[in-house]
């Protein structure tokens, strides 16, 4: 299936492993607060979870994993916390790049347009993207300085600049102007910490995603929690706006 597909949504095997899982990594601050620690301690503790979830997804057969690391709204946080996050993310990227490459994981970064991102960090993102570009295992997309609405606005501007007639614009055409248009629609969104919202994450791609809101704070989230989310997904029936054959007065053949 192509990125952000349009038209009729293809049938997918029930109880199968979701092709694309997206995680909203939430709860670092509350994890730290419950331990009377600074928020930065929660961000630092999240590193273990990130690697654990990546390994669990790859081992389970997930082909696309997207992690929401830093949103366009996160720039409103205190400057000291932002500076810490930038340094932390750079250290994590440099530390784990060899492992990700050895696992055959293709890495890329969704967003990364704000000039406030330190140039060394932007270079590390670019270097990891180049290093792993030829890998054919799972694709890991890290949403950093990302906003779903901004992506949609950017796609609309791209269409206008391209001179596409209004009558020619359909979902498939529009999706082709989004960042990374080869990204398939998200099958499953997992948000940790118990919060129940999307928070401007990949808005186009999550249109038909199943949503699971785990009460576990992200630094405590581990492979067994991730696998339980996959099992919950497998027990659901995805209809994409349709009905079961025995509903609405119809009978199963």
Residue ranges at the known binding site for Mg(2+): 26, 210
Q: How confident is the model at residue 4 (pLDDT cuts 50, 70, 90)?
A: very low
**26 noted as active-site residue:** yes
- 172, burial (CB in 10 Å: exposed 0-12, middle 13-18, buried 19+): middle
Buried b (16+ CB within 10 A) or exposed e, 55-79: ebbbebebebbbbbbbbbebeeeee
Q: Collapsing DSSP states into helix, strand and coil, what is residue 17?
A: coil
**200 noted as active-site residue:** no
| Cα–Cα dist 41/81, whole Å | 11
Element (H, E) at 124: helix 119-132
Residue ranges at the known binding site: 26-31, 39, 43, 71-73, 75, 77, 191, 197-199, 210
| Mean per-residue pLDDT, 7-33 | 79
Cα 130 to the chain's mean position, in Å?
20
pLDDT of residue 237: 84
| Cα–Cα dist 25/142, whole Å | 11
The structure tokens listed for 216 are 């576990």
* Site of tokens 């366009």: 72
Q: How confident is the model at residue 5 (pLDDT cuts 50, 70, 90)?
A: very low
Question: Nearest 5°: CA angle at 52, between 49 and 56?
Answer: 135
Whether the per-residue pLDDT at 242 is higher than 70: the answer is: no
Whether the per-residue pLDDT at 137 is higher than 50: the answer is: yes
Beta strand 210-213 with 188-191: parallel, antiparallel or unpaired? parallel
Residue ranges at the known binding site for substrate: 27-31, 39, 43, 71-73, 75, 77, 191, 197-199
Residues 52, 74, 135, 200: which is the catalytic one?
Answer: 74
Whether the per-residue pLDDT at 45 is higher than 70: the answer is: yes
pLDDT of residue 239: 73
* Site of tokens 């694709």: 139
How confident is the model over 207-230, as pLDDT tens digits? Answer: 999 999 999 999 999 999 999 999
Residue 240 CA: distances (Å) to CA of 7, 8, 10, 209: 11, 9, 9, 9
Of residues 133 and 252, more confidently modeled: 133
């Amino acid at each position: 299936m192509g990125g952000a597909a349009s038209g009729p949504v293809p049938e997918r095997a029930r109880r199968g492993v979701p092709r694309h899982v997206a995680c909203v990594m939430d709860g670092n601050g509350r994890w730290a607060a419950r331990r009377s620690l600074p928020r930065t301690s929660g961000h630092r503790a999240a590193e273990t979870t990130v690697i654990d979830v990546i390994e669990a997804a790859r081992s389970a057969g997930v082909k696309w994993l997207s992690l929401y690391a830093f949103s366009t709204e996160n720039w409103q946080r205190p400057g000291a916390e932002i500076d810490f996050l930038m340094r932390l993310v750079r250290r994590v990227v440099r530390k784990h790049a060899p492992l990700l490459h050895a696992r055959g994981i293709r890495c890329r970064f969704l967003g990364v347009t704000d000039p406030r991102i330190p140039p060394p960090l932007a270079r590390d993102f670019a270097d990891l993207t180049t290093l792993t570009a030829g890998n054919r295992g799972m694709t890991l997309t890290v949403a950093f300085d990302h906003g779903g609405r901004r992506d949609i606005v950017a796609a609309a501007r791209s269409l206008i600049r391209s001179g596409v007639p209004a009558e020619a614009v359909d979902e498939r055409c529009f999706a082709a102007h989004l960042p990374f248009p080869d990204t398939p629609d998200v099958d499953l969104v997992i948000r940790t910490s118990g919060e129940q919202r999307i928070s401007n994450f990949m808005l186009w791609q999550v249109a038909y995603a199943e949503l699971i809101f785990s009460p576990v704070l992200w630094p405590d989230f581990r492979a067994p929690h991730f696998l339980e989310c996959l099992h919950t997904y497998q027990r659901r029936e995805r209809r994409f706006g349709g009905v079961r054959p025995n509903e609405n007065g119809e009978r199963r053949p």
